Chains A and B, each alone.
Chain A
Amino acid sequence: MPKKYHISTKPAPPRLYPVGRYATVEFREDCAGSCRECVKKKCVYNIFADNYLHMSQMDEPEYLYTCNSCFRCVQECTKGIFSRVINPEYRTLGDDYWTPAIISRTWYQAHTGSIPVSGAGYRGPFVGEGFDSIWTDMSEIVRPTRDGIHGREYINTMIELTRRPQGLRFNKDGSLKTEVPKILETPFPMLFQLHDQYGIEDECVRLSIAKAAHATGQLMFIKPSEITGELKNLVSCMVPSLELATWEKHKDLLATCKMVQIPYGPGLNEVVIALRAMNKDLAISVKTPLDDKAPLIAIEMADLGVDTVHFAASHQGKEVNVDNPKFLRDAIHAVHLALVDHGARLKVNLLFSGGIAMAEHVVKSIICGADGVVIDASLLLALECRLCGRCMDGLSCNGKLEEVDPEFGMTRIKNLMAAWRNQILEMLGAMGLREVRRLRGEVGRSMWFENLEKENFAPIFGERKVP
């Protein structure tokens, strides 16, 4: 049996006590004292192992990372003195988009390498903005590999980042006439980059990410100035992000890379021609902010013959520099459809970054028309970042990112990627798909809120009055 792609995982417990969802409240003045029935000693999950001592030795209030919310302590305390609240620190994690739940689930995955599995039904809102208004399809009887979960290793999550010839031509002797560029692939559709706002400028952070990219066969976008120290040994997994005016200074670096990224801007055409002339096998990615001109830029880039276009959305997954920004869902779909209408979708690959916070976002981005995504904040979260934003003000890091051991950081990122990839496999498996590339633009494999409402509710309730 040929070897299957696999990301190995290893538990990597957090360095710092994570911010848990709950905090205890105890009305100790009513405590019976050394009660034999003390619920803290009897906790099924033993979460109070170190903390049922006398009040003077307790942290107050006590933040509970591992509390599973079974309410038995609250309901069984003989004096009824025990209660809980939401940990005030937990409330402040992240923002409306990067919710505390997303952040703590990301920590869990980076810690364990396992996909989050739980009992009871779904707990969230019926529908939400953007990706949360898409449900993916499944098939009752069709499976890509009819082996239940034990055939998942046959599902391919690889994507290509190089342009494709639009057809093959042959010489009279049957040899290939068309020049086929060397194919650049990555084993799963999440490329890495450093966040442009969050994250302290520290080599150990960059090195953790680079090591994880290297270990998983993934690519990482990075500025040449950030390739310092030990990172210089890992350039094979790096995609240098160069400037149009100064790219020539880095010709040596390009000789060792498979892909380069340049920004969209005046003079781009000449740079692309020069890069091609220098090394025809070098894949070229053009990065540009995701705005309302994105579909036109995508067409222009496809015609120009670049390999990949990388659109950068905001941290919350929205268009940038636009009055009423669309969310990634619609923005990706618009770019994809523009290319399809132009007959150029197969010429160029599309990457999107910003706002990719969960494994499901990867799948849904691809359904909308992306080839892959580029992640940044999730990598920092894997290193125990709290997205508190103190680094942006030049303050010290709450997650002590500057102290991350790159080996530990690598393990955490690998764990997260393994968990995400496994979740992608779950969704592909349920859909009956064997290749993530087959999912690109396959909106038929998804159900969109507005369509479900139109098809099933409009005949009953008439016209929808609330957008």
Chain B
Amino acid sequence: MSENNRKLPEAVETPSRFRNTIGKFVVKRNSRCISCGLCAELCPHGVHVRYENYAKGTRPVSHKCIGHECRDKDYYCISKCPQNALSLKINPLLETMGDYRWTAEMLLGHFAMAETGDLPHVNLEYNLGNSGGGFDKIRFRHPDPEKAIDMADEDIDTSIELNKTGDGRPERTISIPCYGGGMSYGSTALPVIIGRARAAKRLNTFTCTGEGGYPPEFLPYKDHVITQVATGLFGVREETIKYSPIVEFKYAQGAKPGLGGHLLGEKVTEAVAAMRETVVGSSLFSPFPFHSVYSVEDHKKHVDWMKEINNDVLVSVKVSTPTDVDMVAIGAYYAGAHIIHIDGSYGGTGAAPDIAKKNIAMPIEYAIPKVHNFLVNEGAREKITLIASGGIRNGFDVAKAIALGADGVVIGTADIVAVECVRCSNCESGRGCARGIASTDPELGYMTTEEYCEQRIVNMYLAWRKQWCTILRSLGMKSIRELVGRSDLLVHLDYLEEKERATYQPAPNHAMIL
């Protein structure tokens, strides 16, 4: 077992918080059922449950059903039922769920991973979205079977190094090539952000405070919490810099590049206002940009300031992806940053103008090779960690981003999808999220528990890790670090001749009503 993987946690089955779990298929039991128990005996996936001391038929656990592909099996409950009491259909609800980037099946796939810690057994397309470009058109080249290695998951190294500068500050290794993106206290419920921190501790990685201060609940996990210093400087204090192994300067965010953070008035509750030292009910629009930074020299002053306050801290610089993102990255490097974090335009947010989310700055798929190659040509690539985020949705996206040139990625949306976000995009309004994720409302903000969030997130990453190990094995790699910048291992469907294109999984392409 590799040294870096020793701390990997256990998966624990963590079912949905909601009574009716949404699945790809709907299995219905009608009143003809005589509760003979045959279906419960037959189904290997646990769709039918029968309790010995309960005579009536129970509602099938539809989301575990593998659907019509079961038809040829001798345990196909629909045809075996002596009373013809069971029916099976595709869930019509799916059409109203998800969007081009996070399709309904990708959401359901991640719910399943977060529940079990394993890849879904239902046939769901959770690796590809329906966006018709970028990651959804990029595939790993068919690997050379002779190169494949036989190695257990535990022996494959998925860790990455966050300090490559050799500046004498601590080396910080995370066991998975992902850490958590900033979600502030105020935008997101306390049990969720603390659950993320607990998951980060168990996975030996990090989570980030976002721009909302440092609730004391973070303290037990402080070695795994990044303090974000954003343009509004909300909740940034000397001690929170001192707690932190890493400080992240948020210059811009991919979902709203060129705009500061938005926290609309209704979400500024008493506790949030106290943490941010602001007025209850008053919308908080962070300024843009840092009013103390006009140049790379000013930026260096920022970096030096943090390094002076905390001698062990690493500095990450988060920027979005304008045309000159490569120049910005090299500037961050020369200013002494350990991590350059580029956030692409399709990234997540708690609130942003729709026009900014869609139009401003370039998608991360373009920015990664742009920055990677520029840093290579400048001779700086080996000395800085390149982290990508913004529209990286699943395990395969992570691997593709790394192959395009990133060392690792930052994940935000997938974490909250793991705790059953359906991306209904109402995080900004009113009391916030109706599902208790992006809300600090006294009622809604406590619909989840820290334990639930922690385990669901851990489970999802464990499932992703299985995917990474499969990819690495097939490529003959023992460490995910070998994959960095190996864009020669990728193909893009639109760049292939038709015949070759047909050998790869086609990009999902169906019309959606948004």
Which residues of A approach B to under 8 Å, CB–CB? 21-22, 25, 44-45, 68-72, 74-78, 80, 83-86, 90-91, 99-101, 105, 115-127, 134-143, 146-150, 358-360, 363-364, 423, 426-427, 429-432, 444, 447, 452-453, 455-457, 459-466
Question: How many B residues have CB within 8 A of the partner chain?
Answer: 109
Cβ of B351 under 8 Å from chain A: yes
* Chain A residues in 8 Å Cβ range of B493: 466
A-B pairs with lowest CB-CB distance, top 8? A430-B258, A119-B427, A126-B133, A148-B287, A123-B99, A70-B434, A75-B18, A461-B495
- Given A137-B322, A465-B495, residue A74 in contact with residue B20 (CB < 8 A): yes
Chain B nearest CB: distance from A383 CB in Å? 22
Chain B residues 256-286 with CB under 8 Å of chain A are: 257-260, 262, 264, 285-286
Taking a contact as CB atoms under 8 Å apart, the answer to whether B351 and A140 are in contact is: no
**Looking across the interface, which residue of chain A has its beta carbon closest to that of B390?**
A121
Please name the residue on chain A nearest to B293 by beta carbon. Answer: A141
Contact check, B513 vs A118: say whether CB atoms are below 8 A apart: no
Given contacts A21-B513, A99-B514, A124-B358, contact A71 B287 (CB under 8 A): no
Complex A-B: 20 CB contacts under 8 Å = A22-B96, A25-B92, A70-B426, A72-B434, A74-B20, A76-B19, A85-B92, A85-B96, A100-B513, A100-B514, A115-B353, A117-B428, A119-B428, A124-B101, A139-B258, A141-B251, A423-B353, A447-B323, A456-B366, A457-B365
User: In the complex, which residues of chain A have a beta carbon less than 8 angstroms from the beta carbon of B97?
Assistant: 69, 71
Chain A residues with Cβ below 8 Å from B206 are: none
Of residues A148, A364, A455, which shows the largest number of chain B Cβ atoms within 10 Å of its Cβ? A148
B353 cross-chain contacts in A, Cβ below 8 A = 115-117, 423, 426
Chain B residues whose C-beta falls within 8 Å of the C-beta of A83 in the assembled complex: 92-93
Q: Decide: A456 and B370 in contact? CB cutoff 8 A.
A: yes
Q: Contact check: which of B264, B320, B349 meets A140 at CB < 8 Å?
A: B320
Most buried by B among A44, A91, A121: A121
Asked whether, in the complex, the Cβ of A72 is within 8 Å of the Cβ of B435, the reply is: yes
Give the CA-CA distance A459 to B95 in the complex, in Å.
Answer: 38
Partner of A86, one of B95, B259, B285: B95
In the assembled complex, how far is the CB of residue A462 from the closest CB belonging to chain B, in whole angstroms?
6
A146: which of B59, B291, B363, B497 is its contact (CB, 8 Å)?
B291
B195 proximal to A (CB < 8 A): no
B346 within 8 A of partner (CB): yes
A70-B132 in contact (CB<8A) = no
Contact of B434 among A44, A105, A447 (CB under 8 A): A44
Binds A, one of B73-81, B380-388, B417-425: B417-425
B361 touches A137 (CB 8 A): yes
Could you tell me the distance between the alpha carbons of A465 and B502 in the complex, rounded to whole angstroms?
A: 13
Quick check: B131 and A461 within 8 Å, CB to CB? Answer: no
Contact, CB under 8 Å: B350 / A119: yes
Write out the residue numbers on chain B whose beta carbons fall within 8 Å of the beta carbon of A85: 92-93, 95-96
- Per the bound structure, the CA–CA distance linking A465 and B137 in Å amounts to 13
Give A410 to B355 CA distance when docked, in angstroms: 24
Cβ A137 vs Cβ B491 within 8 A: no
Instruction: State whether A465 and B22 are in contact (beta carbons under 8 Å apart), knowing that A138-B257, A148-B285 are contacts in the complex.
Output: no
Given A118-B351, A121-B255, residue A427 in contact with residue B93 (CB < 8 A): no
Q: Give Cα distance in the complex from A101 to B513, angstroms.
A: 8
- The chain A residue sitting closest to B288, CB to CB, is A148
Q: By the criterion CB–CB under 8 Å, are B258 and A429 in contact?
A: yes
A122 contacts B255, CB within 8 Å?
yes
Beyond A426-B356, A427-B355, whether A138 also contacts B425 by CB under 8 A is no
Known contacts A117-B353, A431-B258, A457-B492; A123 and B425 CB within 8 A of each other: yes
CA distance A350 to B425 in the complex (A): 38
Which residues of chain B have C-beta atoms less than 8 A from A101's C-beta?
A: 513-514
The CA of A320 and the CA of B513, in the complex, are separated in Å by 28
If A141-B289, A430-B258 touch, does A123 touch B514 (CB 8 Å cutoff)? yes
Residue of B nearest to A99 (CB): B514
Q: Return the chain B residue nearest A359 by Cβ.
A: B355
- B93 contacts A74, C-beta separation under 8 Å: yes
Of A69, A149, A456, which is within 8 A of B424 by CB?
A: A69
Q: Which one, A99, A115, A117, A126, contacts B363 given CB within 8 A?
A: A126
Which residue of A is nearest B345, CB measured?
A: A135
A80, A118, A136, A137: which contacts B352 (Cβ < 8 A)?
A118
Taking a contact as CB atoms closer than 8 A, the residue among A72, A123, A137, A360 that contacts B423 in the complex is: A123
Smallest CB–CB gap between B256 and chain A, Å? 8
CA distance A355 to B353 in the complex (A): 22
Residues of B within 8 A of A147 (CB): 287
- Bound together, the chains give a CA A301 to CA B95 distance in angstroms of 51
Task: Point out the residues of chain A lying under 8 angstroms from B496, CB to CB.
Answer: 465
Other A-B pairs, 5, CB within 8 Å; known A71-B22, A78-B19, A461-B492: A44-B431, A76-B20, A83-B92, A91-B513, A426-B356
Task: Name which residue of chain B comes closest to A429, CB basis.
Answer: B258
Contact A124 B100 (CB under 8 A): yes
- Within residues 51 to 107 of chain B, which ones have a CB less than 8 A from any CB in chain A? 59, 92-93, 95-97, 99-102
- Which residues of the other chain, A, contact B421 by a CB distance below 8 angstroms? 120
Which residue on chain A has the smallest CB distance to residue B18?
A75
Among residues of B, the one whose C-beta sits closest to the C-beta of A131 is B359
Q: Which residues of B contact A117 (CB under 8 A)?
A: 262, 264, 351-354, 428
Q: Are A126 and B134 in contact (CB under 8 A)?
A: yes
A70 to B447 Cα, complex, angstroms: 14
Complex interface: chain B residues within 8 A of A76 (CB):
18-20
Alpha-carbon gap, A444 to B348, bound state (A): 26
Q: Are A120 and B494 in contact (CB under 8 A)?
A: no
With beta carbons under 8 angstroms apart, the residue of B358, B360, B404 that contacts A138 is B360
Name the CB-closest residue of A to B438: A119
Residue of A nearest to B355 (CB): A423
A137 to B321, CA, bound (A): 8
Q: Which of B319, B351, B426 has the most CB of A within 10 A?
A: B426
Q: Are B288 and A143 in contact (CB under 8 A)?
A: yes
> Does A121 contact B391, Cβ atoms closer than 8 Å?
yes
A338 to B101 CA separation, bound complex (whole angstroms): 38
- Residues in B with CB closer than 8 Å to A119 are 349-352, 425-429, 433, 438
Q: Bound complex: CA of A455 vs CA of B373, how far in Å?
A: 11
**A125, B359: Cβ atoms under 8 Å?**
no
* In contact, A447 and B362 (Cβ under 8 angstroms): yes
Q: How far is the CB of A434 from chain B (nearest CB, A)?
A: 14
Q: Does any Cβ of A come within 8 Å of B305's Cβ?
A: no
Give CA–CA (A142, B137) in the complex, Å. 34
Contacting residue for B320 out of A75, A138, A358, CB 8 A: A138
